[in-house]
Amino acid sequence: MKAFIIFIYVVVLVIVSEYSVTADTVYLNDGGEIKGIVVENYHNHIVLSTFEGEKEIDKPSIKDILYDKREQNLLKLGDYHQEKGNFAKAYSYYKKAYDISPDNKEARDKFIFIRSAFLRNPERQFKSDMARKQALFKESGKVYSPQIKKQNNTPEAMLGEKIGIVLYEDDYMPKVASVIPLSSASQSGIKEGDIIFSIWGKMAGYLELDLVIDMIINSSSPEIALTVKRRIPISRLKGSVQDLSDFGISLDIIEEGLVVKAVRRGSDSAKSGLLEGDIITDINGASTRYMPLNTAVLKIEENFLSDKPQLDILRDISLWRKDS
């Protein structure tokens, strides 16, 4: 019995030691600290995975977060300088994070965004051109007053005009109410019912809808990188089913989660709209966040056999804003 207790103690000690090495540390304003893994980072709170389960921590109560991964700390510094309008410093930190971890989606998205904003800023160039023309006309004794075309300047109207979607808030998330045919959004594959999950790697949940729209229509770059969340019902296969390959998909686990590794052309999964690279977040309402690969495979197979499976997926979409 004593040997068994010692064995359990050693196992627990190893688990705790391993966890503490890989944990993020949240420092609170009251002097306390909590270790875990930051799994969701919204503008007003974070979701921290701990031994006791997931905890939501409001950002006003957080003094600082020390991430286990160096690239996450660099991204945090980049975010700080970007919010301050110092694009040069933000660029250097985002680039360092990307160089360390080029496969990290957040690092990649933020580096591409700041590179575009820093090296190609249409609004800044426009203002510079206006100032130069005004100076030239002033020297010649004339007044430069170009005719500006009047347009509907409400944020919602501009969003529809520039990318072709109408948004509304649903359970604290920006959701697509409609998509204008032949618009940039339509051509990029955005559909009615999609949730805008993130914009250039920044989570859009719990943000005011006006701020989400502003992030899109006033972005420094005309290219917009969105991640949308979509529910895809998949038709059941007819005939005998042996394993997941009969459904036309193969899966894998990557840093972002459960990923669709491949989709067989012509399969029911392909016809239902599933694409290679989609991140599956839920299987018929069950989160895949802590789900081992074999469990996820079995769950999908069981749902195919017993009912019509519904997969919630995250998909990266790139579109171009119409600025003229």
Give the pLDDT of residue 131. Answer: 54
Render pLDDT for 121-137 as a digit per residue (tens, 0 to 9). 544 444 455 555 555 55
Give the pLDDT of residue 236. Answer: 65
Neighbours of 279 (CB within 10 A): 20
Give the pLDDT of residue 86. Answer: 85
Render pLDDT for 1-12 as a digit per residue (tens, 0 to 9). 544 444 444 333
Residue 51: band (very low, low, confident or very high) from pLDDT cuts 50, 70, 90: confident
Give the pLDDT of residue 119. Answer: 61
Q: Angle at the Cα of 50 (from 49 to 51), degrees rounded to 5?
A: 140
Residue 221: band (very low, low, confident or very high) from pLDDT cuts 50, 70, 90: confident
Helices (H), 253-292: 268-271
Is 52 part of a structural domain of the chain?
yes
**Boundary (domain end) residue, out of 53, 80, 110:** 110
Whether the pLDDT of residue 159 is over 80: the answer is yes
Neighbours of 109 (CB within 10 A): 21
User: What single-letter DSSP state applies at residue 245?
Assistant: G
Is 49 part of a structural domain of the chain?
yes
Q: Cβ distance 283 to 318 under 8 Å?
A: no
**Boundary (domain end) residue, out of 95, 110, 125:** 110
Is 106 part of a structural domain of the chain?
yes
Mean pLDDT along residues 159-181: 95
**Boundary (domain end) residue, out of 81, 110, 139:** 110
Distance between CA 91 and CA 82 in Å, rounded?
Answer: 8
Number of domains in the chain: 2
Is 164 part of a structural domain of the chain?
no
198-230 burial code (b ≥16 CB/10 A, e <16)? bbbbbbbbebebeebbebbbebbbbebbbbbbb
Q: Which domain holds residue 27?
A: 2-110
Is 63 part of a structural domain of the chain?
yes
CATH value at residue 252: 2.30.42.10
Higher pLDDT, 6 or 75: 75
Render pLDDT for 236-250 as a digit per residue (tens, 0 to 9). 655 556 677 778 889
Rg, the chain, Cα only:
24
**In this structure, what token pair is assigned to residue 188?**
């990029």
CA 108, chain centre distance (Å): 11
CATH value at residue 45: 2.30.30.100
Q: Cβ distance 303 to 269 under 8 Å?
A: no
Is 223 part of a structural domain of the chain?
no
The tally of CA atoms less than 13 A away on the side-chain side of residue 6 is 3
Q: Cβ distance 179 to 190 under 8 Å?
A: yes
The beta-strand segments (E) located in the chain are 24-28, 33-41, 45-50, 53-58, 62-66, 165-170, 173-179, 195-199, 202-203, 223-233, 249-254, 257-263, 279-283, 286-287, 310-320
Single pTM value for the model: 0.78
Render pLDDT for 183-220 as a digit per residue (tens, 0 to 9). 999 999 999 999 999 998 899 999 999 999 999 998 87
Mean pLDDT of the chain: 83
Residue 111: band (very low, low, confident or very high) from pLDDT cuts 50, 70, 90: confident
